[in-house]
Structure 1
Amino acid sequence: MFVRLLLVLLALAAIVAGLAFLKYRQIQAEIALFSQPMPAPTVAAAVVETSTWEPALNAVGTVRAVQGVDLNNEVAGQVKQILFDSGAKVKQGQILLRLEDDVDRAELEGLQAAERLAQIQLDRNRALLKDRAVAQGDVDEIAAQLDQARAQVKSRQATIEKKAIRAPFAGQLGIRQVNLGQYLAEGSAIVPLQALDPVYVDYSLPERHLAQLRVGQPVSVRAAPYPDRIFAGTIQAISPGIDQGTRNVLIRARFENPDLALRPGMFARVATQLPVQERVLTLPREAVTFNTYGDSVFLIEETDGKTLAQRRQIRTGAVRGDEVAVLDGLTEGDRVIVAGQVKLTNGQDVSIVSDSDEAAAAPAQPE
């Protein structure tokens, strides 16, 4: 009995010892694996180049019509005729709508008759005055009555004229807001009218750029409906004052718009062109890490046969598309990392896959 129990205990001890040995070998293998050096992360690089730079001041603006109004009526009345269609192009002075004016015209005829009678009486009294058949006071009274009659005629004619709503300038109409037979109170909205060629683009720039702006300076605009099209214009006016709330200066640029592509109220991305700068250092924008403590890049250096990534503080300038100007910190020919730098540390060994800023770098190996 005792021998059998001893054999069982020995067997259990052998099994436990075997399992412990296998676990020990596994732990030693994992330690050996993690003690091996990590492979260098793969990155893409680009060369700092010198190029001709056409800097621009970028902003957002709003397209505005050179002239735009909501047409309304000066006098009240009932709509008699509608002589336009929504969206139509009209000429300056074209009659768009007439209000009921039959009563006014009838009153005008009566006033004109009174004017003629006053003129006849004045002529007769002047003839009688020569023979001293009437007093000078009678002639003066009739002359005053004639002037009053003429003024009443002109007043009624002006009222009739105001009941014919005309286009104050050439342009394109909007959506009609009145109907035939509708009674319009004074100042009722009838239809919008916009002059669309040319158009203005209003935008603002920080006050620090004021010295770089001048009337006639070229400006380009992009609009969302035409992503591949650039509209060219010039600065027409610069506000004489600075907005105290934003410290921005308001600018108005003028654009020819023969095909009516730009419409009032449209959002626009504006680029105010500055003089061309020669020999400006540039590098891809994605190579730069922008933060409040300063901009930096990972510069590639060859040391003891190794390719190392060294963080370098730089000073950047204007941005043009995917490029950024470098003002300080780099020289022409330096190579910087443009992809795969997210998990890099200063002085880390790297593997370069391309010297083109368009090459895609493989993901960095986990640390």
Structure 2
Amino acid sequence: MIARILTVLVALAALIGALAFFKYGQIAQEMAAFSQPRPATAVAAVSVDTTNWRPTLSGVGTVQAVQGVEVNSEVDGQVREILFESGAMVEAGQILLRLEDDVDRATLEGLKAAEQLAEIQLRRNRTLLRDRAVAQGDVDERAAQLDQARAEVKATEANIRKKTIRAPFAGQLGIRQVDLGQFLAAGTAIVSLQALDPVYVDYALPERHLAQLHAGQQVRVRVAAYPERVFEGRIQAIDPGIDQGTRNVRIRARFDNPDLALRPGMFTRVETLLPIQDAVLTLPREAITFNTYGDSVYRVVERDGQTLVERRQVTTGAVRGEEVVILDGLVAGDRVVLGGQVKLTNGQPVRVVDKPAQASTDAEGEAE
């Protein structure tokens, strides 16, 4: 009985010893793997370039017509004739609409007859005055009656002219708002008229930029309707005052618009171009890590025969598209990692490859 128990204990001890030896071997292998130097991570790098940089001041604005009105009637009347189509281009002075004026013309004939009579009576009285047959007061009274008759004729003629509505300037008409035979009260809107070439873009910038602005300065705008197109114009006027509510200065830029692409009311993104700066350091946006503690890059360095990365704090400036100005922290010719910075640590060995796509593929292979 005792021999059997001893045999079982010896077998258990042998099994436990074998398991402990196997586990020790695994731990030793893992420790040996950890002690091996970390393989170099494949990264793409880009050099810090110097370039001529043209800074801009960005804002938003609205397209305004150089001239834009609601054409309306100055007098009451019934629409007799409509001589335009909605959306048509018109010239200055072109007739758009006529109101009924028969009664006014008949009244004008009567007033002209009264004017002729007053003129005849004045001539007769002046002849009688030479013969001392009438007093000077009678002549003066007839002269006043003639002046009054002429004034009434001119007023009626002006009223008749106002019943022929003309385009006050050249431009494009909007949608017609009246119909044939409709009675129009004075001031009733007939159609909108906009002069579309050139146009203005009104926008605002913070007052701190006032010293950098001047008339004639180049301006670029983009609109949602033509996202790939850039319209170029120049500042025409700068408001002499600062808005007390927003502390912004209002600016008006003028743009040629021969194809009528810019329309009044359009929302625009505006860039005001400043003088060109020479030898400015720039980097692609993706090479920079932006966070609340400061912007940084991973600079590629050669140390003790190895290619390593070191984290470097940088001061960034203006942004233009995908390019960012580097104000401090790097010099021209420095190489920095282009993308994938979250996988790197300070002092980590790297292997520089030509293309970002290749670096991503190599990194995935190393991870496997």
The answer to whether the superposition gives a TM-score over 0.5 is yes
Flag the 1:298–1:247 CA change in 2: closer, same or farther, 3 A.
Answer: farther
The answer as to 2:211 corresponding to 1:211 is: yes
Flag the 1:139–1:336 CA change in 2: closer, same or farther, 3 A.
Answer: same
Question: Counterparts in 2 of 1:295-314, with a 5 A limit?
Answer: 295-314=295-314
Aligned position for 1:141: 141
| Alpha-carbon separation, structure 1, partners of 2:103 and 2:359 | 84
Aligned position for 1:241: 241
**Percent of pairs with identical residues:** 68
Aligned position for 1:281: 281
| Alpha-carbon separation, structure 1, partners of 2:308 and 2:101 | 90
Q: Deviations along 1:211-261, whole A, 9 cap, x unmatched?
A: 221111222233333333332221111111222233222211112222222
TM-score when scaled to structure 2? 0.85
Code of the aligned partner of 2:360 = A
More helix by share: 2
Flag the 1:78–1:327 CA change in 2: closer, same or farther, 3 A.
Answer: same
Query: How far off is 1:21 after superposition?
Result: 7.7
Query: How far off is 1:193 after superposition?
Result: 0.8
| Alpha-carbon separation, structure 2, partners of 1:256 and 1:262 | 9
Question: Counterparts in 2 of 1:124-139, with a 5 A limit?
Answer: 124-139=124-139
Flag the 1:361–1:119 CA change in 2: closer, same or farther, 3 A.
Answer: farther
Task: Decide which moves more: 307-316 or 117-126.
Answer: 307-316
Alpha carbons 2:79, 2:100 under 8 Å: kept: yes
Aligned position for 2:334: 334
Code of the aligned partner of 2:73 = N
Flag the 1:80–1:39 CA change in 2: closer, same or farther, 3 A.
Answer: farther
Q: Deviations along 1:316-349, whole A, 9 cap, x unmatched?
A: 2222222122121110111112211134344444
| Alpha-carbon separation, structure 1, partners of 2:34 and 2:112 | 113
Aligned position for 1:86: 86
Query: Where do 5+ consecutive residues of structure 2 fail to align?
Result: none
Code of the aligned partner of 2:151 = A
| Alpha-carbon separation, structure 2, partners of 1:311 and 1:245 | 44
The answer as to 2:315 corresponding to 1:315 is: yes
Query: How far off is 1:194 after superposition?
Result: 0.9
Alpha carbons 1:340, 1:361 under 8 Å: kept: no
Task: Decide which moves more: 29-38 or 244-253.
Answer: 29-38
TM-score when scaled to structure 1? 0.85
Query: Where do 5+ consecutive residues of structure 1 fail to align?
Result: none
Q: Secondary structure at the match of 2:241?
A: strand
Alpha carbons 2:235, 2:254 under 8 Å: kept: yes
Runs of 4+ in 1 over 4 A off after TM superposition: 20-41, 358-361, 363-366
Alpha carbons 1:59, 1:203 under 8 Å: kept: yes
Alpha carbons 2:289, 2:341 under 8 Å: kept: no
Q: Deviations along 1:138-193, whole A, 9 cap, x unmatched?
A: 22222222222222222212211111111111111111111111122222221111
Query: How far off is 1:35 after superposition?
Result: 4.6
Task: Decide which moves more: 99-108 or 309-318.
Answer: 309-318
Q: Secondary structure at the match of 2:114?
A: helix
Flag the 1:245–1:361 CA change in 2: closer, same or farther, 3 A.
Answer: farther
Aligned position for 2:184: 184
Q: Deviations along 1:78-100, whole A, 9 cap, x unmatched?
A: 11111111111111111101111
The answer as to 2:144 corresponding to 1:153 is: no
| Alpha-carbon separation, structure 2, partners of 1:58 and 1:22 | 71
Q: Deviations along 1:11-59, whole A, 9 cap, x unmatched?
A: xx89x979x8899689859966995776554432210011122322233
The answer as to 2:44 corresponding to 1:72 is: no
